[in-house]
Amino acid sequence: MKFSFKNDYSEGCHPNILQALLLHNTNQQAGYGEDEYSLQAKELIKQKIQKADSEIYFVSGGTQANLIVISSILRPYQCAISAATGHILNNETGAIEATGHKILSIEKEDGKLTPEDIIPVLENHRNIPHQVMPKLVYISNSTELGTIYTLGELEALSTFCKENKLYLFMDGARMGHGLTSEISDLTLEKVAELTDVFYLGGTKNGALIGEAIVINNQELQQDFAFNIKQKGALLAKGRVLGIQFLELMKDDLYFDLAKHANQQAMKIKNAMKEKGVQFLSDTYTNQIFPILNNEVIQKLSEKFEFYVWKKVDENFSAIRLITSWNTEDEPVNDFIEIIKTEL
Amino acid sequence: MKFSFKNDYSEGCHPNILQALLLHNTNQQAGYGEDEYSLQAKELIKQKIQKADSEIYFVSGGTQANLIVISSILRPYQCAISAATGHILNNETGAIEATGHKILSIEKEDGKLTPEDIIPVLENHRNIPHQVMPKLVYISNSTELGTIYTLGELEALSTFCKENKLYLFMDGARMGHGLTSEISDLTLEKVAELTDVFYLGGTKNGALIGEAIVINNQELQQDFAFNIKQKGALLAKGRVLGIQFLELMKDDLYFDLAKHANQQAMKIKNAMKEKGVQFLSDTYTNQIFPILNNEVIQKLSEKFEFYVWKKVDENFSAIRLITSWNTEDEPVNDFIEIIKTEL
Amino acid sequence: MKFSFKNDYSEGCHPNILQALLLHNTNQQAGYGEDEYSLQAKELIKQKIQKADSEIYFVSGGTQANLIVISSILRPYQCAISAATGHILNNETGAIEATGHKILSIEKEDGKLTPEDIIPVLENHRNIPHQVMPKLVYISNSTELGTIYTLGELEALSTFCKENKLYLFMDGARMGHGLTSEISDLTLEKVAELTDVFYLGGTKNGALIGEAIVINNQELQQDFAFNIKQKGALLAKGRVLGIQFLELMKDDLYFDLAKHANQQAMKIKNAMKEKGVQFLSDTYTNQIFPILNNEVIQKLSEKFEFYVWKKVDENFSAIRLITSWNTEDEPVNDFIEIIKTEL
Amino acid sequence: MKFSFKNDYSEGCHPNILQALLLHNTNQQAGYGEDEYSLQAKELIKQKIQKADSEIYFVSGGTQANLIVISSILRPYQCAISAATGHILNNETGAIEATGHKILSIEKEDGKLTPEDIIPVLENHRNIPHQVMPKLVYISNSTELGTIYTLGELEALSTFCKENKLYLFMDGARMGHGLTSEISDLTLEKVAELTDVFYLGGTKNGALIGEAIVINNQELQQDFAFNIKQKGALLAKGRVLGIQFLELMKDDLYFDLAKHANQQAMKIKNAMKEKGVQFLSDTYTNQIFPILNNEVIQKLSEKFEFYVWKKVDENFSAIRLITSWNTEDEPVNDFIEIIKTEL
């Protein structure tokens, strides 16, 4: 069977999680997130972010987190703003609009938003009450293109949002990868300080399921649990989420796993760079987009699975490679071997 | 710690499931339900129900299943009909209405619907276009009160629904318990034959998470997956659901677990009946509602957790006891012992 | 052609309105409610209710008013409470639920709600976050059954709502009829003082179209216009609504018209009472529900149109008669003549 | 007072309409669109479009028409496609998204869609079920920019939509202006033949309120009235809409009014062209977008109201002028006089 670099959710979960599920399996616990594991995991996350007054909720996946957060925050006539590459715009089957809210889209090469990007959107939505009211800025870190926000960039965005009464929401499906990138100067504490809401993605970083929504803005905390229940996201056995995040947060396993994924991607990237390969964008997380000639792509695809992302010209295309918490050295080395031979 | 009879989702999952998760953990699989375990589990369910042309989708929980099924079937102006005790009416934070649909409620002591119950509802909704159009009948088996449908009752309801162009949807959060009740003459094949859609509940019968939605009516199958994705219910690691249902369906583990839960409840029920205890309703599944005097309830609550369901008079209240796939003999015997001693 | 007592919107509008439309027809005005007529009409209403800080918006009809008000007030997980006879429950094709909100229904013979009716509903919705949160009490005056609230009743309800953090919303599709009822001790000023939102119905009281939504609670005023636009209720030629309410409010025409309608109904009612006729409910507005034997109903139906409302027994049924601002003496006297002859 | 060229809904309605309202004012009629005027008006429209099997419904305004039509056609996971200038995208406060549906936007200079514009949108939405499914193409004629579709363009679009199982919906808020443009080769019969649904706008063409929705595709006709009621758009006094469309359709008043508006705009346009004025787009309907230097704009604004649409450079801006059914010769000539003098 071919090894897959298609995504970071191809395998099960980190063994510690299965061990913990096994260990606690027959303990009777309260349902719906009131179990002791969930309570402990929440405390652990609050410690990590150094914010005792944040509230934390666990849900199963990213689309679910996005639709619950956004629909709980916005009034019916308010809308979200997102980079055109945003997951909520392209890969969630209109989940946000299905809750009644438009998303305004901004074209950005690198998938990141700046105050300068947002200003004209605000200016073009002043015809009250004939237009939606922009109220929430959706960003992701790392982004759907593998890029990341610097501390300075996030501070600027956060300040701008506060000044313009916009909520700032960070999709953290790949938060671990973003924060442990070798070029990142952002920390989880800073994310918590600078955003109104964010989430820590488990699904793409070693959990079976699970994202931890962290609500830092206290005005957005009220009654949040109702929204989770109403959208069908409140698991009867909330323990499944609690146990997983307890394991991931212990001893920083969460960050170790993400760092590992990043490092495996960087090995491939660096090997390619040595061979003069160009990239669609210059990423330092577990997603890379090398531009290769079609023959090399053909050769690689005999042994590996990956997405051909974008045709560049007659002879060249960009491919997308994603490594995971569980990507071992062997497939990485095999892949690099082919690159070295074929280029 | 007190043993809890509060519900059937207090423990983790059947050990076979954890073993299977462990066994397949590092196999790379396609995401979003295209993994081999999900495909196999779907085939196995189709065999059990003897309907090759049904379509099967796995989601995480009951509220999620209910809201996705109902919102995917109904046009904006159509509504569901449910017994007043229906889970969708009382325990889902308005999840169905949040998708835009009214639920018409019918008061029934036993939580079950008959054609005779539905006829007046249809008659009272003929003022076109000033009223919602009833289009879907929601039932559950076993019901929220622990009661079950007989084959004859389900046949009558199914025929009535077809004649009146109503879809029949059975909530099977406790399907196993309903079908393995000692007084049930209904089979899974018959459920599949007589309903348009139903689901097999995993969460309350030995899975960590998971309900298997079975769409028998082919006209309702089209594009169903879009609805799952849009509501945030499509797990990236669909394998988690596939592996669980594969284990549950193998060798009828699903039914064995439910039967066990029922039997433990019946032991308690019979012990009480011998002592002359009355019940709120005469159930034969894993939920029982004995009426006890307050002193006995007090005594029991020293060693056990359970819900006091309804005050009957000054001295007596009904309690709700729920047993599970994992309820062992010891707590059951201990509980019976107290009953024998105190009554 | 038979004269119709079927409802109070069978005719066009009061002649003053047509004259005003004619008079101002070619004046160019700003669109979307910024016309001078709308602005003047709003001022006039504020004077009538003695509340300078209320905000007023005109929309076309009652269902529209109800759905805009309720959906603008409630958060996604919150719901409305209504008497089971409420227009929003029975005659609006699920318009409220279509905006995502459940309505909890309370059975009441007279169509009116009291604190005592609401208390158990609140008590049965304490299972946070598994149930919708009751947040708005919907009442109508006069009610769908022609009954009215006394000042004392409204005060009690208003106090209760404030204590329980519930919003109080009065549907005033027939506000004129309610307030000018010979037994009413309620005034428009008091309605404005005791409710968070109410509306003055024009459609059923001499306008072509139009209801004036009055928002008394300032916290509910913010951004309200967005909701009107989003629901398709903001007329480009808002002047049509402004001119009508300007005419209706001038010299209390609005109340004169309603009083006239009430009086015509009372004439019929009194004539029947003299003949010993019983009524479904004892109303003092423009709706009456006399119980007549089938032969008399047959006789009346040869000359008049009306709804047979409810079968009482083999020989008797209740009919519903509605008079309007435009019901002249002749049909009323003719009707009474038959009653006198046949009973 | 300055004369306004700001829009085509600044005045009341055509005098014939007021006369008809007066004439029929006291006739008792059935409510909710079952009045004889509405029935007659529908028949008249069917004759005009030469399609006896189309169904017609009257609503109050354009946003209302758009949201009802689109939400009634689309399943929850389906979306609309629109030119980026589409009214539904920019000027309806997210009304379509509020019913749960995304709108995909296509940038077009002239505000018109072609098959070539739509093909890449379809190709970019093939990742089933992770993306919304495009299902309806929204166009307007005349467009928001005053441009129009030729017969050939509409035929090509219609064929493309049928081949790709897309519904074609034409917003006809300014249908009269589009069809009576001096360069139009399209007829109302052809519009009815080539679209699934369209509407005839009354509000911007001499009515007080009112758009006539025409459903040509029979599969979309079923139960449509429920949607109108549910969205709060079913007027109790439907006669108000029926009487207006009856007058507008009689003797082609509708088209005469639109032609008049167009001609007045063309007079101004031609006068400007003689002076060498450039236009943002080359329109032949009642909207023109001349580019003028700021001094001339200043001069004109002393006597006229209009929107400054777009800054072109330091010295020049485009303004928008709209003429209406009621724009008389005097203001047009006065305006032209200034142009002649100042340029």
Task: Chain A: give the shortest CA distance to residue B164, in Å.
Answer: 30
Mean pLDDT of chain A: 97
Residue B191, pLDDT score: 98
First-residue to last-residue Cα distance in chain D: 24
The predicted-structure confidence for A144-165, as pLDDT tens digits, reads as follows: 999 999 999 999 999 999 999 9
If asked whether residues B233 and B247 sit together in one domain, one would say: yes
Eight-state DSSP code of residue B74: -
Select from B29, B63, B209 the Cβ nearest to the Cβ of A237.
B209
Question: Any bridge partners for residue B57, and if so which?
Answer: B213
In a domain, D9, yes or no: no
Instruction: Identify which of C91, C94, C102 has the shortest CB distance to residue B94.
Output: C102
Task: Mark whether D136 and D275 lie in a shared domain.
Answer: no
Same domain, A224 and A90: yes
**Does residue D100 sit in the same domain as residue D76?**
yes
Q: Rounded to whole angstroms, how far apart are CA atoms C161 and C216?
A: 15
Q: Looking at the structure, tell me whether residues B247 and B279 fall in a common domain.
A: no
Q: Convert the pLDDT of each residue in B52-101 to its tens digit.
A: 999 999 999 999 999 999 999 999 999 999 999 999 999 999 999 999 99
* Strand ranges, E, within chain A: 3-4, 55-59, 78-83, 103-106, 133-140, 167-171, 197-201, 211-215, 278-279, 287-288, 290-293, 304-305, 307-311, 316-322
- What number of other Cβ atoms are within 10 A of residue B126's Cβ? 9
The model's pLDDT over D71-104, given as tens digits with 9 standing for 90+, comes to 999 999 999 999 999 999 999 999 999 999 999 9
- Residue C159 sits in a domain whose CATH number is 3.40.640.10
Cα separation of D243 and D220, whole Å?
26
D286 in the same domain as D179: no
CA distance C251 to C244: 13
Contact criterion met (CB < 8 Å) for D100 and A102: no
Q: Mark yes or no for CB contact A101/D102 under 8 Å.
A: no
pLDDT 10s digits, C260-304: 999 999 999 999 999 999 999 889 999 999 999 999 999 999 999
pLDDT tens-digit series, residues D9-62: 999 999 999 999 999 999 999 999 999 999 999 999 999 999 999 999 999 999
Mean residue pLDDT of chain D comes to 97
Give the domain extent around C263: 3-7+258-342
**Residue D314 corresponds to which amino acid?**
E
Q: Does the structure show a pLDDT above 90 at C1? A: no
Answer whether residue C343 shows pLDDT above 90: no
Task: Give the residue-averaged pLDDT of A26-52.
Answer: 97
**Closest residue to A232, CB basis, from B95, B208, B226:** B95
Do B132 and B237 lie in one domain? The reply is yes
- Pairs of CB atoms within 8 A across A/B: 160
Evaluate whether residue D104 is within a structural domain. Answer: yes
**How does pLDDT run across D265-323, given as a tens digit for each residue?**
999 999 999 999 999 988 999 999 999 999 999 999 999 999 999 999 999 999 999 99
Q: What is the pLDDT of residues D208-247, one digit of tens each?
A: 999 999 999 999 999 999 999 999 999 999 999 999 999 9
Whether residues C47 and C160 share a domain: the answer is yes
Q: Return the CATH number at C287.
A: 3.90.1150.10
C-alpha distance across the termini of chain C, in Å: 24
The residue among D232, D253, D274 that closes a domain is D253
Residue A217: per-residue pLDDT: 98
Q: Are residues D165 and D116 in the same domain?
A: yes
Do the chains contact at C63 and D232, CB–CB below 8 Å? yes
D7 within a domain of the structure (yes/no) = no
- Is some CB atom of chain C closer than 8 A to the CB atom of A13? no
Which of C205, C228, C253 is the endpoint of a domain? C253
For residue D269, give how far its alpha carbon lies from the nearest alpha carbon of chain C (Å).
22
Question: Mutate which of C97, C310, C320 to test chain B, going by most B C-beta atoms within 10 A?
Answer: C97
Q: Which residues of B touch A61 (CB under 8 A)?
A: 232, 234-236
**Domain match, C165 and C193 both:** yes
- A222, A251, A280: which is the final residue of a domain? A251
Count CA within 13 A, CB hemisphere, residue B50: 7
Question: B133 with B249, same domain?
Answer: yes
Read off the amino acid at residue D41.
A
B234 vs A: CB within 8 A: yes
Whether the per-residue pLDDT at B155 is higher than 90: the answer is: yes
Q: Strands C197-201 and B278-279: what pairing?
A: unpaired
Residue B305: φ, ψ to 5°: -105, 140
Residue C310 is predicted with a pLDDT of 93
- The answer to whether the Cβ–Cβ distance between D97 and A92 falls below 8 Å is no
D234 touches chain B (CB under 8 A): yes
Strand partners, C200: C212
Mean residue pLDDT across chain B: 97
Residues A167 and A260 in one domain: no
Read off the pLDDT of residues C202-224 as tens digits, 9 standing for 90 and up.
999 999 999 999 999 999 999 99
pLDDT score, position B44: 97
Number of domains chain A contains:
2
At residue C160, the pLDDT reads 98
Listed residue (C22, B53, B44) closest to D21, CA to CA: C22
Q: Tell me, what amino acid is at C96?
A: I
- CB-CB neighbours of B219 under 10 Å: 9
- CA dihedral angle for residue A219, residue A222, residue A225, residue A230, rounded to 10 degrees: -90
